[in-house]
């Protein structure tokens, strides 16, 4: 028997087994996360924010471009992870703009502080904050961004209402999700949350696998 045929068959079986394994893990995680909401551990952000994702799937430049950023804007990012998207946004609001990168996990904030210090980035301000009680003045933020973060929050509508409070009248909040995330919600779910919080859809991008939704304050 052809040795290459045997090797290809073994490799195909391996891929099938691996795919089934990851599918089972994904389903189990979705079930767990459905009933037990908690922040993704900081060490997991290294796996989630990987070169393949940034280069081929969820490009930081494209995410930032859809935010319609301008120099001098004040941006709020909730759940910055490693800061790969934060950095791109920070460049686009220079010279006078700032990005407040907030999280409830001290380990994530401390790691981001070390990164921006090492790379000498001065307009990113990492800080611990509460999504239900943000330490920002009313109507003080131009843009808000949450990438694969909102579904981790036990009360997403409550968090969105708080973001609405700090967002300027002409501001935008952008929500982006990707299917491999165990917390992945369908687009209509996030649209429903946003509507209940007092937002209306401005623009939408992507597809069922990965999407980005921009909302503005409802005029009603």
Number of Cβ within 10 Å of residue 22's Cβ equals 11
What pLDDT score does 114 carry?
A: 96
Looking at the structure, do residues 30 and 70 belong to the same domain, yes or no? no
Phi (first) and psi of residue 170, to 5 degrees: -100, 15
**Distance of alpha carbon 19 from alpha carbon 23, whole angstroms:** 6
- The answer to whether the Cα torsion of 32, 193, 56, 47 is positive or negative is negative
Looking at the structure, do residues 144 and 98 belong to the same domain, yes or no? yes
Q: What is the 3-state secondary structure (H, E, C) of 18-52?
A: HHHHHHHHHHHHHHHHHHCCCCCCHHHHHHHCCHH
Report the CATH number at residue 122. 3.40.50.150
pLDDT band at 12 (very low <50, low <70, confident <90, very high): confident
> What confidence tens digit (pLDDT) does each residue in 26-63 have?
555 555 556 666 566 555 555 566 676 666 578 999 99
Looking at the structure, do residues 31 and 115 belong to the same domain, yes or no? no
Rounded to 10 degrees, what is the CA torsion of 96, 101, 106, 108? -110
The answer to whether the CB of 81 falls within 8 A of the CB of 58 is no
Looking at the structure, do residues 59 and 17 belong to the same domain, yes or no? no
pLDDT band at 174 (very low <50, low <70, confident <90, very high): very high
Looking at the structure, do residues 4 and 61 belong to the same domain, yes or no? no
Looking at the structure, do residues 154 and 87 belong to the same domain, yes or no? yes
Looking at the structure, do residues 25 and 94 belong to the same domain, yes or no? no
Looking at the structure, do residues 21 and 94 belong to the same domain, yes or no? no
Q: What angle do CA 90, 175, 115 make, to 5 degrees?
A: 35
**What's the domain range around 32?**
1-36
What pLDDT score does 54 carry?
A: 64
Q: Domain count of the chain?
A: 2
| Res 4 pLDDT > 90 | no
> What confidence tens digit (pLDDT) does each residue in 123-133 have?
999 999 999 99
Looking at the structure, do residues 32 and 69 belong to the same domain, yes or no? no
What pLDDT score does 186 carry?
A: 93
The answer to whether the CB of 78 falls within 8 A of the CB of 104 is no
Residue carrying structure tokens 């904050």? 129
What pLDDT score does 108 carry?
A: 92
Point out the least confidently predicted range of 4-18, 22-36, 185-199: 22-36
Q: Tell me the CA distances in angstroms from 191 to 62, 157, 176, one per residue in order.
A: 21, 11, 12
What pLDDT score does 32 carry?
A: 59
Looking at the structure, do residues 100 and 23 belong to the same domain, yes or no? no
Looking at the structure, do residues 109 and 145 belong to the same domain, yes or no? yes
Looking at the structure, do residues 208 and 155 belong to the same domain, yes or no? yes
Please, what is the average pLDDT of the chain?
A: 87
């Amino acid at each position: 028997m052809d040795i290459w045929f045997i090797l290809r068959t073994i490799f195909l079986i391996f891929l099938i087994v691996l795919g089934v394994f990851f599918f089972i893990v994904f389903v189990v995680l979705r079930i767990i996360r459905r009933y037990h909401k908690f922040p993704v551990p900081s060490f997991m952000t290294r796996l989630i924010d990987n070169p393949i994702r940034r280069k081929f799937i969820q490009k930081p430049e494209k995410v930032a471009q859809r935010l319609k950023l301008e120099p001098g804007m004040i941006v709020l990012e909730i759940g910055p992870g490693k800061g790969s998207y934060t950095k791109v946004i920070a460049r686009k609001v220079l010279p006078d703009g700032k990005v407040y990168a907030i999280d409830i996990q001290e380990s994530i904030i401390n790691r981001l502080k070390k990164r921006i210090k090492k790379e000498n980035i001065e307009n990113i301000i990492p800080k611990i904050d509460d999504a239900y009680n943000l330490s920002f003045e009313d109507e003080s933020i131009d843009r808000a961004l949450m990438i694969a973060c909102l579904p981790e929050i036990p009360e997403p509508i409550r968090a969105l209402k708080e973001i609405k409070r700090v967002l300027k009248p002409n501001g935008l909040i952008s929500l982006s999700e990707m299917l491999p995330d165990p917390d992945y919600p369908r687009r209509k779910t996030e649209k429903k949350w946003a509507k209940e919080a007092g937002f209306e859809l401005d623009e939408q991008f992507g597809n069922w696998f990965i999407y980005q939704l921009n909302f503005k304050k409802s005029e009603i």
